[in-house]
């Protein structure tokens, strides 16, 4: 897939997630808990800030302190931003960056719902490859949660360069949760938009990720396999408006469950075998993600690094 196709698919998929933020409360909570968030954390932020899109909890390794500035790269509906704001307090700053207008609108609504009265929470609209609205060296810590894998491979280095630029020199910290590939992915698994918005096709090998960090200038880089079950996205019970679906029913981007709204087909719904530029031969078929054991190919990693 070309970069423009990937961005379009990601934008459509995550817009739909934002617009359906009042659905599947049980699913969203189950996913978050599976990746390390506590009941206390989930109960302390607006419910619709957690959309069940995490692959870890980067704040658990960020070491945030009162008065610090933290930037969340790919902040979505504000989940980690609101949690971070509690750690840095009224004298600190928590800044979210996202390219999706629907996500940003939801984040602002969640900010109002949260009852935040101090000005330490803000959101910036930008692609994470070039965040021109933010100055160099303003952050004590940069965090990101399952977002870098959504960036086209040809542009990933720019993300790490931006993270490095935003951090203060002499100890600025990077704390990332991301999905990485255990081994090179089969071409049939990489094919199609569904695999990209599902955080599969864009997953880098650990060695490639290390290279991005090294070239950006980071030191003291640490990688740890969190050993989370990535099949939770598929296997967690789905809830719609507080009611549990039947066990064999799953909510997907292709099957909106809101019967009161016009059904919108997300970009990820295009049959993989018919998508242009997926690299498959005419007689090859992209793998159905619902039938793949994701843990065989992928892992959720904790990544920590320092700007010298």
Is 50 exceeded by the pLDDT of residue 250? no
The pLDDT score that the predictor gives to residue 8 is 83
Give the integer Cα–Cα distance in Å for 282 and 145: 36
105 is written with which tokens? Answer: 């609108």
pTM for the model stands at 0.84
Instruction: Tell me whether residue 182 is exposed, middle or buried, using C-beta atoms within 10 angstroms of its C-beta: 0 to 12, 13 to 18, 19 or more.
Output: middle
The pLDDT score that the predictor gives to residue 191 is 67
What's the full length of the chain, in residues? 308
The single-letter DSSP state of residue 181 is E
Q: Mind listing the pLDDT tens digit for each residue in 11-33?
A: 888 898 899 998 989 999 999 99
Give the integer Cα–Cα distance in Å for 288 and 185: 14
- Phi-psi category of 141—alpha, beta or left, where left has phi over 0 and alpha has psi -120 to 50? beta
Q: Mind listing the pLDDT tens digit for each residue in 126-178?
A: 999 999 999 999 999 999 999 999 999 999 999 999 999 999 999 999 999 99
> Which are the contacts of 107, defined by CB distance < 8 A and separation ≥ 6?
49, 75, 76, 77, 78, 81, 96, 98, 123
Cα R_g (the chain), whole angstroms: 19
The pLDDT score that the predictor gives to residue 287 is 53
The CA–CA distances, whole Å, from 284 to 167, 171, 188, 278 equal: 45, 49, 8, 10
Give the integer Cα–Cα distance in Å for 238 and 232: 11
Is 80 exceeded by the pLDDT of residue 304? yes
Taken in order 271, 274, 279, 285, is the CA torsion positive or negative? positive
Residue 90: Cβ within 10 Å count: 13
Is 90 exceeded by the pLDDT of residue 305? yes
Give the integer Cα–Cα distance in Å for 75 and 104: 8
Q: Nearest 5°: phi and psi at 157?
A: -60, -35
């Amino acid at each position: 897939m070309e970069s423009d196709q990937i961005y379009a698919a990601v934008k459509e998929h995550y817009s739909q997630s934002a617009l359906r933020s009042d659905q599947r409360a049980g699913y969203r909570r189950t996913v978050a808990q599976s990746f390390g968030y506590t009941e206390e954390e989930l109960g302390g932020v607006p419910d619709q800030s957690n959309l069940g899109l995490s692959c870890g909890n980067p704040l658990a390794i960020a070491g945030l302190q009162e008065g610090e500035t933290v930037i969340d790269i790919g902040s979505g509906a504000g989940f980690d931003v609101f949690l971070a704001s509690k750690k840095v307090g009224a004298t600190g700053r928590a800044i979210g960056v996202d390219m999706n207008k629907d996500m940003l609108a939801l984040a602002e609504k969640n900010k109002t719902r949260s009852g935040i009265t101090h000005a330490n929470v803000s959101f910036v609209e930008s692609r994470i490859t070039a965040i021109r609205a933010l100055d160099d060296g303003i952050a004590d810590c940069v965090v990101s949660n399952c977002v870098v894998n959504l960036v086209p491979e040809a542009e990933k280095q720019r993300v790490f360069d931006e993270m490095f630029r935003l951090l203060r020199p002499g100890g600025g910290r990077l704390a990332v949760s991301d999905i990485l590939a255990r081994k090179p992915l089969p071409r049939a698994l990489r094919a199609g938009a569904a695999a990209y918005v599902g955080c599969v096709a864009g997953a880098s090998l650990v060695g490639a990720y290390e290279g991005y960090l090294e070239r950006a200038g980071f030191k003291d880089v640490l990688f740890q396999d969190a050993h989370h079950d990535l099949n939770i996205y598929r296997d967690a019970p789905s809830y719609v408006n507080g009611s549990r679906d039947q066990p064999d029913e799953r909510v997907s981007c292709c099957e909106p469950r809101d019967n009161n709204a016009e059904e919108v087909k997300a970009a990820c719904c295009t049959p993989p075998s018919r998508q242009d530029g997926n690299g498959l031969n005419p007689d090859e078929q992209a793998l159905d993600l619902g039938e793949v054991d994701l843990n065989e190919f992928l892992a959720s990693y904790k990544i920590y690094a320092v700007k010298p």
